[in-house]
Amino acid sequence: MTRAVLSIGSNLGDRFAFLQSVVDGLREHVVAVSPVYETAAWGVEDQPDFLNAIVIVRADDADEWDWLRRGQALENAAGRVREKRWGPRTLDVDVVTVDGVTSDHPELLLPHPGAFERATVLIPWLDVEPDAVLPGRGRVAELPFSAEGVRRREDLVLSGWMEA
């Protein structure tokens, strides 16, 4: 059995619908879904704001590569085009961590190398797992990150999953 933390984001088109498509697409594996946050773009800043959330998933038959492939399939279904690194996108699904797994493979770095400094990952993660630990970095609540520009969207609630 593997358990993974996925970070999802969208800043093009119907951003909320693209996030919901991840919850719908992984429904049978979803353990928890964070609230939705709106954040300014990171990396390439001249682009629309993102909606972000965390989805925690678990499956008996999935390893880290399966979570990556499932995320990429959902991105493709959302019309994701990779033109510019950190550029605008309909959907981004990042594998943040998979319990008990580290990877230095260039296609799947685990834990995700930028997660420790991204409030777009850490704040939603803390909402669903206040005691979360990022391997190699420690307790998420104790990591030095800025919450500036991260706004919770109470009007947007990802639905259609049941807590395990």
* Beta carbons of 144 and 116 less than 8 angstroms apart: no
Catalytic (active-site) positions? 80, 89, 92, 94
The number of beta carbons lying within 10 Å of the beta carbon of residue 49 is 13
* Count of helix runs (H) and strand runs (E) in the chain: 3, 10
Which one-letter DSSP state was computed for residue 134?
Answer: E
* Beta carbons of 139 and 131 less than 8 angstroms apart: yes
Q: What are phi and psi of 137, to 5 degrees?
A: -120, -25
Rg over CA atoms, the chain: 14
Query: Which H helix or E strand runs over 24?
Result: helix 15-25
Q: What are phi and psi of 108, to 5 degrees?
A: -150, 85
